[in-house]
Amino acid sequence: MKYRLEGRLVVVLALVALGSLVSFFLFKPVQESPLVVASAESLRAPAAGKLIGYDDQYTTHAWRGIPFAQPPVGDLRWKAPRPLAPWPGTREALSVGQPCVQYWGGSAGVDGDDGDIVGSEDCLTLSIWAPTMKPEALPDGGNALPVMVWIHGGGNTVGTGNTYSGHHLAGSQSVIVVTINYRLGVFGWLSHSALRNTSTNFKDASGNYGLLDIIAALEWVRDNISAFGGNPNNVTVFGESAGGRDVYALIASPLARGLFHRAIVQSGSVLTVERHWAENYSDASPRGDINSSGNILLGLLQKIGKASSAQSARDWLQTSDDNAVAELMRAQTVQDVLSVFTPGGFGMYSVPTNIRDGNVLPERSTLQSFRQGEHYAKVPLLVGSNRDENKVFMAQNEDLVGKRLGVFPKVRNQALYDRIASLYSDQWKVLSVDEPARALANNSGPEVFAYRFDWDETPQSWLVDFPALLGAGHALELGFVFGDFEGGLSFPFLLNDENKPGREILSRAMMAYWAQFARTGNPGRGEGDQPLWQPWTATHEVQLVLDTDAGGGIRMETAPLSVGALKDRLETDPIIASGEPRCRMYVQMFLTGFQVRDFWIESEYRQFAGGECREFDPFRLAQP
């Protein structure tokens, strides 16, 4: 049996392959936004230009679809975002803009079908929620409200900030919530010598355009948020999945210093990639990713008829100057550029992101910076993962999950399923939570508060046993953090009247912890009557478990994991088949997956499990 799991992340739970019936329930059909009317009390006058929003739920004002940079189109494709001149008059901010270009999926926030390309390159917008306040009563100075800037997930290839509603978090916790869009996939991250050599500044040359979009949004917040009652000197960045990975990248980036003051990473990753991985052909030495810019151009030249084969494409690139290559790249349509990719589940495709260019991101790994105690933003960090992260990806694996009545998923071997899920999910925790926390605590870093999300009280019936299938899976905490189980990105098929009381209590507690951390840099007791969230220290490696009373309640727990122990479990677990399956798991866990590669040791891999892995090329095992 092959335990072949998806290596790229999605922000949505519709990875459960239930067919069109359950897709309907897991994702609400895209609906027209409700008609909203401008509210005179929402008139604001930031430096960017006057804005008027509307009254939203939970006693909030909302301003949607605010541009924060020039559209990165035409000659600005694959360049750093450019500042936007103030607009004249008063701009109505009543509806969201377009999502950034992506293959359609359930997280795109617009209608579409599998294989459709949706969104626009003109997508750099943000939305703001604030407690309802009259213009003359906005707090300032020490009374200004903490600001929380959300970075959406989706593997950095799909998703949009448009699908998240900040009204409940903002209204119940007296904070300002900002959600943003940033360029995705090949439009957000592409490092190539032709782009670099024709650039006039290091930002344009970096290849990290999506990350630079996020930084530009933070600069907009710094310059404008006081007009909404927010404190530009108390900004928290928080993100989930790829958004969490981008938060770690912001911590590492010298360009983001001073733009935020606390950071929250939900199910993220410390991974950044070397320039050669982002640029080189996959048969070069050092090798590049299968979707490196070199390989992308080979495919693109053939797709548009510029070359008849990969070799003739190489020949054209070798004999063309950088200006000709860059001009050809920017001249292609969105459809042409994306034609070289085959979208996977829910529109996702792989492309190297968060590239160590030496300017926007250091050439060293983020973990190395943490271990050295320098060259990163030393801000308080709240970081965690979900207990069963990988079950949501495993649920679409036909080797592990069959179909009852041809539609409803049923785990074939629950013991095997749980054991594999435990290994991959613990790998997520140890590489994105425990090792970063340990590195910071051991090297005089900022305070770190760790958590594990354990809620798994989804419906259970003879048709589908969701607790067994998904557990406390990836992205399930999103509704709890935003206090939003109904609108935007929601999972109504997993919610019912039975689990409503417990999840609403847990959601209020989580919102309080998140907001208290944003206010002070310490989540403390949340609203004051919750368990004290203790920091992770070098001598006290602890995490807060987030669950309802039915699951043991919110509690502190000592449950650190180590890479060595994880590798030992993988090597000796008798339920994991020997040979190629075990070696593939080692490769996915420590070399080619979503998590950091600092713990990949090729010599160890060759000797792994009695040397049985030496006959398997790790990069071949990584291919789907």
Given 514, 542, 562, which residue is the final one in a domain?
562
| Same domain assignment for residues 148 and 267 | yes
Rounded to 5 degrees, what are φ and ψ at 413? Answer: -135, 100
| Same domain assignment for residues 228 and 103 | yes
| Same domain assignment for residues 58 and 89 | yes
CA distances to 116, 474, 489, 491 from 29, rounded to whole Å, are 16, 21, 11, 11
Condensed to tens digits (0 to 9), the pLDDT of residues 383-419 reads: 999 999 999 999 989 999 999 888 899 999 999 999 9
Q: What is the CATH number of the domain that holds 240?
A: 3.40.50.1820
| Same domain assignment for residues 188 and 122 | yes
| Same domain assignment for residues 144 and 199 | yes
Does residue 473 carry a pLDDT above 60?
Answer: yes
Mean pLDDT of 83-104: 97
Condensed to tens digits (0 to 9), the pLDDT of residues 497-524 reads: 999 999 999 999 999 999 999 999 999 9
Give the domain extent around 458.
375-391+421-430+438-562
Condensed to tens digits (0 to 9), the pLDDT of residues 237-280 reads: 999 999 999 999 999 999 999 999 999 999 999 999 999 999 99
Assess contact for 362 and 356: CB atoms under 8 A. yes
Percent of the chain with pLDDT over 70: 93
What pLDDT band is residue 208 in, cutting at 50, 70 and 90? very high
131 assigned to some structural domain: yes
Assess contact for 337 and 300: CB atoms under 8 A. yes
pLDDT at 620: 87
480 assigned to some structural domain: yes
Contacts of 319 (CB under 8 A, 6+ apart): none
Mean pLDDT of 213-225: 98
Residue 271 CA to residue 398 CA, distance in Å, equals 28
| Same domain assignment for residues 515 and 580 | no
| Same domain assignment for residues 181 and 243 | yes
| Same domain assignment for residues 196 and 128 | yes
pLDDT at 18: 37
pLDDT at 583: 95
Q: What is the mean pLDDT of the chain?
A: 92
User: In one letter, which amino acid is 192?
Assistant: H
| Same domain assignment for residues 617 and 516 | no
Rounded to 5 degrees, what are φ and ψ at 619? Answer: -75, -30
Condensed to tens digits (0 to 9), the pLDDT of residues 312-333 reads: 999 999 999 999 999 999 999 9
Residue 559 CA to residue 303 CA, distance in Å, equals 51
User: Phi-psi region for residue 78, left (φ > 0), alpha (ψ -120 to 50) or beta?
Assistant: left
Mean pLDDT of 205-224: 98
326 assigned to some structural domain: no
pLDDT at 21: 31
Burial 315-354 (b: 16+ CB within 10 A, else e): ebbeeeeeeebbebbbeeebeebbbbbebbbbbbbbbbbb
The conformation of residue 622, written as its DSSP 8-state character, comes to T
Condensed to tens digits (0 to 9), the pLDDT of residues 425-463 reads: 999 999 999 999 999 999 999 999 999 999 999 999 888
Mean pLDDT of 356-382: 97
Percent of the chain with pLDDT over 90: 88
CA distances to 221, 253, 444 from 258, rounded to whole Å, are 12, 11, 19
Burial 412-425 (b: 16+ CB within 10 A, else e): eeeebbbebbbbbb
Number of domains forming the structure of the chain: 3
pLDDT at 609: 87
What pLDDT band is residue 31 in, cutting at 50, 70 and 90? very low
| Same domain assignment for residues 106 and 219 | yes
400 assigned to some structural domain: no
The whole-model pTM stands at: 0.95
Assess contact for 516 and 177: CB atoms under 8 A. no
pLDDT at 33: 56
What are the structure tokens assigned to 588, written together? Answer: 């996915």
In this structure, are strands 355-356 and 273-274 parallel, antiparallel, or unpaired? Answer: parallel
Given 236, 271, 306, which residue is the final one in a domain?
271
CB-facing half-sphere around the CA of 483: CA atoms within 13 A = 20
535 assigned to some structural domain: yes
Given 562, 585, 604, which residue is the final one in a domain?
562
187: three-class secondary structure by DSSP: helix
- Rounded to a whole number of angstroms, the CA Rg of the chain reads 23
583 assigned to some structural domain: yes
Beta strands in 152-257 (DSSP E): 176-180, 230-240
Q: Work out the number of other CB atoms within 10 angstroms of the CB of residue 90.
A: 14
In this structure, are strands 102-103 and 230-240 parallel, antiparallel, or unpaired? Answer: unpaired
pLDDT at 492: 67
Condensed to tens digits (0 to 9), the pLDDT of residues 114-167 reads: 999 999 999 999 999 999 999 999 999 999 999 999 999 999 999 999 999 999
Rounded to 5 degrees, what are φ and ψ at 439? Answer: -65, -45
| Same domain assignment for residues 572 and 539 | no
292 assigned to some structural domain: no
What are the structure tokens assigned to 539, written together? Answer: 């001598």
Q: Work out the number of other CB atoms within 10 angstroms of the CB of residue 590.
A: 24
15 assigned to some structural domain: no
| Same domain assignment for residues 245 and 106 | yes
What are the CB-based long-range contacts (under 8 Å, 24+) for 563-567? 563/430, 563/431, 563/435, 563/599, 566/423, 566/426, 566/427, 566/430, 567/604, 567/608
